[in-house]
Amino acid sequence: MLILLTGIYASRKESGDKSAQGLLLAGRRMPAWIGIFTMTATWVGGGYIIGTSEAVYDSARGLVWAQAPWGYALSLILGGLFFAKKIRSYGFTTFIDVFEQKYGKKTAAVLFIPALVGEIFWSAAILAALGITFATIFELDLETSILVSAGIAILYTMVGGLWSVAYTDVVQLVFILVGLGISIPFAIQKIGGFEMALDLYDQSMKNGLTLFPPLQAFLGNDPNWGNQIWVWMDFALLLIMGGIPWQVYFQRVLSSKSDRSAVRLSIYGGICCALMAIPAIWIGIAGAGFDWSSSGLGTAPEATMVLPYVLLEMTPPLVAALGLGAVAAAVMSSVDSSVLSASSMFTWNIYRPLINPGCTDKQIRLTIRLAILFTGAVATWLALTLQSVYDLWYLCADLVYVILFPQLLLALYFKKSNQYGAVAGILMALVLRFGGGEPLFGIPPFLPYPMNDPVEGILFPFRTFAMLSGLITIVVVSYLTHSKSNGKIIEPKL
């Protein structure tokens, strides 16, 4: 209720600006302090919090595989240093505008697909996680949990657009800090204090209390890691580089008051993103050191459920309620952002240029709101009906990394890139990515990648290989077809 009322209150900010820019980008006048909160909330959502605790707690992975906190932090910082200033200075409305201006409307529409699907499946995945968590812990109805959270997020996003999303992000991050922060001392006390918790964790985990693999692993001289180091690096680069080409990030960049402000928001957001992972890391450590046989559960929970069960079994009821409220807040902060981002791209880059080129500003605003309702409904339906939503989102994250990152990089920094190179790069990246197989669709590996372990699968970093191959293909084909293309040089709007 607090988040809903905050979203409705924030919509009054939007009501003073009747343009589509007011709904999509808060009129490009987002205050700096709110901008930092909402930039941090770009990645600090339900999946980020639950996933970090899960990785830290899982004895097969441990802290060294909890890559999201520093990976996404670096993603925001690098995005600020190399992308935010450029894209903000061009006066774009979505980051797909880069491709529309460089390659034309039709090529941009193709590149819009992985961006759109990624946002929708991300929303569905975290809604499903919330529903499963609340259904398991409180024995609540799964459908009700998902429908209520999704309904609240969709309602205030339709009413206030980015203003509502940004203001509720402030409340949601406070919930996360307070709700999870106050639970840590209670949970750690159950296993003998902070020092004991760290000792127990260091002894019980395969890789100990370390954030990064040892140097010997990178040199290939650590038998404990072997070829697994390539998988670690593949996913690290996916998080860092693949975390940049998302509309949910660039929506904040483009809402800032200036290009300098966009850079600062990205860098500060990256730092805050890393700091916000600390409560989730400690909860994972507490869960790993706790004697679950003495709990009401009677046995250690699955890694995916460690955060709610640590709150339920290791903290007082009121603290547990606040902590689980923080999880719900984190989920809504992700859902509203993703739904608005997907709707923004559809309206601005598909409806406006291709479906109804002569549309008025009023029609654009109406379409945005209808698109929010539709994409929110699709994400909710997926969360309620599919069992493999997370797998679908991981696949979309792969596609964003291997397809959109090289496309965005070269569209901005390689003047000769053109639509022929862009299309060739898409095809090359798709073939090489799916050449490593995709269990979700029953696609076996059909390319002879090295390091193919019969138990662990392909350890060769084929995602990064596909991304780099796509990048090189864009460069080569663009050079070969430069005289035939009508590729444009993107110039900043003064």
Lowest mean pLDDT among 18-32, 196-210, 222-236, 431-445: 18-32
Distance from C-alpha of 63 to C-alpha of 280, rounded to nearest angstrom: 11
User: Cα–Cα distance between 88 and 99 in angstroms, integer?
Assistant: 15
Whole-number percent of the chain with pLDDT over 70: 96
Lowest mean pLDDT among 293-302, 383-392, 431-440, 482-491: 482-491
CA dist 415 and 392 (Å) reads: 34
Look at 259 and 14; give whichever has higher pLDDT.
259
324: closest CA among 349, 305, 343? Answer: 305
How far is Cα 26 from Cα 449, in angstroms, rounded to an integer? 47
Q: How confident is the model at residue 112 (pLDDT cuts 50, 70, 90)?
A: very high
Q: How many CA atoms lie within 13 A of 180 on its CB side?
A: 30
Residue 18 is predicted with a pLDDT of 63
Q: What is the pLDDT of residues 120-153, one digit of tens each?
A: 988 888 888 777 777 777 777 888 888 988 898 8
Give the model's pLDDT for residue 494.
34
Nearest CA to 117 out of 407, 409, 394, 431 is that of 394
Report residue 438: phi and psi, to 5°.
Answer: -150, 100
Q: Which residues contact 208 (CB under 8 A, 6 or more apart)?
A: 62, 202
Whole-number Å distance between alpha carbons of 183 and 84: 36
Q: Average of pLDDT values for 400-422?
A: 96
pLDDT classification of 485: cutoffs 50, 70, 90 = low
pLDDT band at 175 (very low <50, low <70, confident <90, very high): confident
Instruction: For residue 3, name the pLDDT band (cuts at 50, 70, 90).
Output: confident
Span 442-477, pLDDT tens digits: 889 999 999 998 888 999 999 999 999 999 999 999
pLDDT digits (tens, 9 = 90+) for 160-171: 899 999 999 888
Amino acid at position 29, single letter: R
The span from the CA of 212 to the CA of 214, in Å, is 6
Residue 128 tokens read as 């499903």
- Residue pLDDT, tens place only, 275-306: 999 999 999 999 999 999 988 889 999 888 89
Say which residue the tokens 């968590």 belong to: 133
- The mean pLDDT value of the chain amounts to 90
Which uninterrupted H or E stretch holds 452?
A: strand 452-453
Mean pLDDT of the 110-125 span = 90
pLDDT computed for residue 482 by the predictor:
85
Structural domains of the chain, ranges and CATH numbers in brackets: 2-401 (1.20.1730.10)
